[in-house]
Structure 1
Amino acid sequence: MTTQTGPGTGTRAQPTATITEGPRGVPLLGNLPAFGKNPLAFFEQLRARGDMVRWRFGRGPALFIADPDTIGELLTEVERTFDQPDLGIAFRTLLGNGVVVAKGADWRRRRSLVQPSVRPKQVRSYAATMSECAVALADRWTDGQRVDVKKEMAALTQLIAVRTIFGVDTAADAEAIGRAMDIAQKEIGAEFSGIGALLPDWVPTPGRARVKRATAVIDAEVSRVVARHRAGDTDRPDLLSRLLAARDETGAPLSDREIRDETVTLYIGGHETTSSTLVWAWYLLSRHPRVRAALTEELDRVLADHEPGHDDYASLPYAQAVVKETLRLYPTIWLITGIAKEGATLGGTPVPAGTRVWSSQWATHRDPRWYGDAEAFRPERWLTDEDGEPAERIPEYAWFPFGGGPRVCLGTRFALVEAVLVLAVLARRHHLDVAADEIRPVPSLTLQPDREVRATVRTRT
């Protein structure tokens, strides 16, 4: 068996879409109170009303879309008929004007400079670091040990990020960066779904002040590490060295500010998203013994007596399927937005300029129209038979945890390889029995568990 190479192969005729009305909001705030109270449930409620639903984000017009074909239009038309939205002062304070935020010609330039550092050839060179860091953690775990899964996975992916981004021998303060990043992403999520989303940039709030202080910690550490790289040998295999050596078509390098912005963006992509995915994977595996048994059978059979490396990635289709199914049920990035330009359409329906269009991975990934037994954890849906036929024909853009189109996440390959290799190293040696209490997702900058995830280590003999 092999995993499907894409999110699905289903094709469907797309009639002209019709827009339905969403729930009535309140004066001035629109539907913001309901959205802020529980964004995931709010998007599911909109999905139940139709594939294109009109609502109000404050006083501004908003449109929610749930159909994969329409989502694909939004993702592929960004930069042409849809624009990147302003996600607020807190978001910009942390990410600056990195490739995720930049627009137009600036975005194209940044993407051309950053993309070579995360191509498959480079990801292959980072795989050994991923596996080595995971092996060190597996060696420390002992049978019967109680661990905080969130802290363990955060520390592990921080170490991998620091080594692959800054270099193995760089004494970067991963713990300080990690604490600052946790504070920043929590406050960004709180502002984005609360009244702060409607406040002008100049209005001071306690949350914005906390983001500013956390960002100052991150900036100081990144600046120190960049200075060390500039003073020494930049011909090294880490991401930062590749960014420092990059040149655009005019021969110009990235400025210090651009280096800072792209480094922070890569750090978030290489640490925050993978850490969250692994936490949710352990939670799901603990609650589904059948899946855990199938995973360990594959690991025992394929890896035998060696630790996994990049060459093993393609030989672990079930481990890949576990990661993809985890990202379906608990997508780290849980929403995307775009601003309609003049002449924008979706599903053949005109979208007025200035309309903010929203789509939620959480809502679409759990839509029973695209997935059989949509709420169930079934990695087998991502496998194919010996003839290459998929177990389930899932429409393209019914699964989009990394976005899609021209602005698809540059670190997609990095994140998938890291999650599979880390999971393979640890699950081959240990099981984690997570406490039976249900853990609920909290949408902040990424989708996080609502509390500590405590587990007991069960070492495999």
Structure 2
Amino acid sequence: MTTQAGPAAADGAAADGATDGQKIVPGPRGVPLLGNLPEFGKDPLAFFERLRARGDFVSWRFGRGRALFIAHPSTIGELLTEVERTFDQPDLGIAFRTLLGNGVVVAKGADWRRKRSLVQPSVRPKQVRSYAATMAECAVALADRWRDGQRVDVKKEMAALTQLIAVRTIFGVDTAADAEAIGRAMDVAQKEIGAEFSGLGALLPDWVPTPGRARVKRATAVIDAEVSRVVARHRDGDTERPDLLSRLLAAQDETGAHLSDREIRDETVTLYIGGHETTSSTLVWAWHLLSRNPRVRAALTVELDRVLGDREPGFDDYARLTYTQAVVKETLRLYPTIWLLTGMAKEGAMLGGRPIAPGTRVWSSQWATHRDARWFTDPEEFRPERWGTTDGEPAEEIPEYAWFPFGGGPRVCLGTRFAMVEAVLVLAVLARRFRLDLDPGEIRPVPSLTLQPDREVLATVRVRGDRAVREEGR
């Protein structure tokens, strides 16, 4: 990890680069060599909330490296739009790179621009439309298996569903033979990546072996073997199939060159994580919030009945399901799947009119900014209406980059529309027929590669109203 060495931060010591009389606020006192890493690693979400309470520019230490936390939407927007110019993508560690390789999320400079131009066409709105039918079909198949009174683990159900959608949309109908093995490997990898990123492993050189790194390596080997097998089958067959992998194999840059086998692997894994891990987590949190908020659940079903009646949703319904979209947006506000973003300052970096010293690692947290009362009325409340309603009630005035679950700027998540359409259609299919009554008890978010519940999420399936009569006759 590339950082600049320096003494541990202490209360009263301002960071470099403050100008025009406005000093960057000092963060909590750190410890020698490790800085604030122990406090950060213990509970990253609470740590960022404490930094936000101190101010919009807060200095701290990630190990011995200089770090700056920013919380104001305008400054976050500057950071996101200046990546690739005056801010670099920082190295997120050997565990992260082992899984994602050098895909579009990790690549920099000309390499990133080339890969983005090759990957982006596969997730444009026209292509997402073609994937929407698969999303709805997979959700309908799950709904047909559920029964009134059935007990389910929502985490497992949503993970299996989004995994099926991912392998069908990415790999096509000839899906991976051992999708469950890939799912288990992904679970292991993301857990270990999160543990290393917020623990002492973040400061260790790449060559230092640890049990966690070994587990990531073994998990990645499982994923690589299956991806390689499926890629080989695609190369031997018809590359005109309408799946993401076929489009990646056919893509050419301005010189006529295709993505290499290694690049195909990296982009496939990146798309799989975006299309499975992130959406699965979002849906689990949505069911959690709906179960705890009967008023919102009732409003959602009113819209589903009005827009869909007794039919299943399709892509064209996405635009009409405005309240369902708002439920997903509000879920992503309270439980953002990607919970932090970071960039490394280069020569000439500026934020809020302040020069930022080269080598400073700048951090922003969706979790902290999304729960800031300056931008959201009653920020801890689940209130989809803040995004506007179909009956003309205006949305809250939310500043740009106060809500940024998919990042922003040139490196905004390429799968944003895919993820939103998938979450809305899946929620529409299932909530049209059922409600899920989650067991009581607190569910805490765990910040790993994505924001995950800390335990199994058990629920009782209930068929809605007069649908229960039809359910008995099936």
TM range (shorter): over 0.9
Is residue 2:336 matched to residue 1:324? Answer: no
Tell me by how many angstroms 1:384 deviates.
Answer: 5.1
TM norm structure 2: 0.93
| Corresponding residue for residue 352 of structure 1 | 357
Q: Which residue of 2 aligns with 1:436?
A: 440
1:216, distance to aligned residue in structure 2 (A): 0.1
Are 2:302 and 1:302 aligned? no
Structure 1's 16 and 188: CA in aligned 2 closer, same or farther, altered over 3 A? farther
- Give the TM-score normalised by structure 1: 0.96
Q: What amino acid is the match of 1:355? A: T
Q: Matches of 1:212 and 1:384 in 2, distance apart? A: 47
Within the candidate set 107, 112, 118, 2:112 is matched to: 107
The one-letter code sitting in structure 2 at the alignment partner of 1:173 is D
Q: What are the within-5 Å matches in structure 2 for residues 80-159 of structure 1?
A: 80-159=85-164
Q: How does 1:225-304 map to 2 (within 5 A)?
A: 225-304=230-309
Q: CA deviation at 1:253?
A: 0.3
Which of 453, 458, 461 matches 1:457?
461
Letter in 2 for 1:418: E
User: 2:367 matched to 1:362?
Assistant: yes
1:16 shift after superposition: 8.7
Identity of aligned residues (%): 87
Q: Which moved further from structure 2: 171-180 or 362-371? A: 171-180
Task: Give how far 1:385 is off.
Answer: 6.5
SS in 1 for 2:256: coil
Counterpart for residue 174 of structure 2: 169
1:424 — aligned with what?
A: 428
The whole-number CA distance in structure 1 between the counterparts of 2:394 and 2:267 is 37
Over residues 234-267 of structure 1, what are the superposed CA-to-partner deviations in whole Å (9 max), with x where a residue is unaligned?
A: 1010000000000000000000000000000000
Residues 148, 452 of structure 1: 8 Å contact kept: yes
- Residue matched to 2:61: 56
Distance 1:288 1:384, change over 3 A: closer
8 Å Cα contact 2:322/2:390 also seen in 1: no
Q: Does structure 2 retain, via aligned residues, the 8 Å contact 1:17–1:346?
A: no
Task: Provide the rounded CA distance (Å) in 2 between the counterparts of 1:384 and 1:394.
Answer: 15
CA offset at residue 391 of structure 1?
A: 2.0
Q: Distance in 2 between matches of 1:358 and 1:17?
A: 19
Please give the alpha-carbon distance, in whole angstroms, between the structure 2 residues aligned to 1:172 and 1:242: 21
**CA offsets, 1:111-156, max 9 Å, x none?**
0000000000000000000000000000000000000000000000
Describe the SS at the equivalent of 1:147: strand
Q: Would the aligned equivalents of 2:176 and 2:226 in 1 still touch at CA under 8 Å?
A: no
- Distance across 2 between alignment mates of 1:60 and 1:221: 39
8 Å Cα contact 1:244-1:259 kept in structure 2: yes
Asked if 2 retains the 8 angstrom alpha-carbon contact of 1:17 and 1:347, the reply is no
> What secondary structure is seen at the aligned counterpart in 2 of 1:400?
coil
**Whole-Å Cα distance in 2 between the matches of residues 383 and 319 of structure 1?**
11
* CA positional deviation for 1:386: 6.5
RMSD: 1.1
- Structure 2, unpaired ranges of 5+: 1-19, 468-474
Instruction: Confirm or deny: 8 A CA contact 1:130 1:160 kept in the other structure.
Output: yes
The answer to whether residue 23 in structure 2 is matched with residue 23 in structure 1 is no
Cα displacement string for residues 63-98 of structure 1 (whole angstroms, at most 9, x for unaligned residues) = 000000000000000000000000000000000000
Structure 2 equivalent of residue 407 of structure 1: 411
- Check whether the contact 1:127–1:417 (CA below 8 A) recurs between aligned residues: yes
Q: CA deviation at 1:172?
A: 3.5
Residues 369-402 of structure 1: CA distance to partner in whole angstroms, max 9, x if unpaired? 0000000000000015777x74200000000000
Q: How far is 1:343 from its partner?
A: 1.1
Quote how far apart the aligned CAs of 1:207 are.
0.0
Number of aligned positions between the proteins:
446
1:33 shift after superposition: 0.2
Higher relative contact order structure (alpha carbons within 8 Å, sequence separation ≥ 6): 1
Structure 2 match to 1:397: 401
Give 1:171 shift. 4.0
Map of 1:160 onto structure 2: 165
Q: Secondary structure at 2:297's aligned position in 1?
A: helix
1:305 Cα deviation (Å)? 1.8
Q: C-alpha distance in 2, partners of 1:349/1:386?
A: 44
Instruction: Return the alpha-carbon distance in structure 1 between the equivalents of residues 94 and 432 of structure 2.
Output: 43
